[in-house]
Amino acid sequence: IGMLAGCYKPELEIMAAPEDVVPPTIEAFNDLVFTLDNVAEKTTNLNWSPVDYGARVEIDYAIEVCLPGAEKKIELSKGIHKTTTELTNAELNAFFRYTMGIPAAQATEVEFYVSAKFLNYEKVYSAPRKVSVTTVDPQAPVLSYTGGAIEINAENVAGGKAPFSWTPAVYSNNIAM
């Protein structure tokens, strides 16, 4: 039996015909409204039903998004091998604000898709889930200067004697600052 298990090839299982493959279905989730208060701390979970190729196989899922009417989808997250993923609000806000160019403080409809891929078979897509997305620009650091020449060295910075101060950005986890 051990020798037979080593010969198992999932692509040899009887697969559903392409027209019989049941695509994933995205579970409902709320509109995404990012604010300075929630962008740094919260996460968003996306869940979907599994694709059914008619056989048990390992699927590569991806989350893809686009604006309504756009022909090309943009990958938000890929290489997922389960039917759920968690993304931070900072990641999502940065993606929608800077990759997709959604203006801050303007609700914009976005279509979410789950794509499923098995070996060299064609991708299977869920029906779109339309969600309103409102992005936020992070609060930029504020630099205050009290005059005179600025000399920065370990002593005056460590001792708090530098002639300036600053407030950090609202969030700074390598997404925006």
Q: What is the pLDDT of residues 99-154, one digit of tens each?
A: 999 999 999 999 999 999 998 889 999 999 999 999 999 765 555 556 665 555 54
Count of CB atoms within 10 A of residue 19's CB?
A: 5
Q: What is the pLDDT of residues 40-80, one digit of tens each?
A: 888 999 999 999 999 889 999 999 999 999 999 999 999 99
Separation between Cα atoms, residue 173 and residue 176, nearest integer Å: 7
Closest alpha carbon to 127 in 48, 24, 19, 44: 24
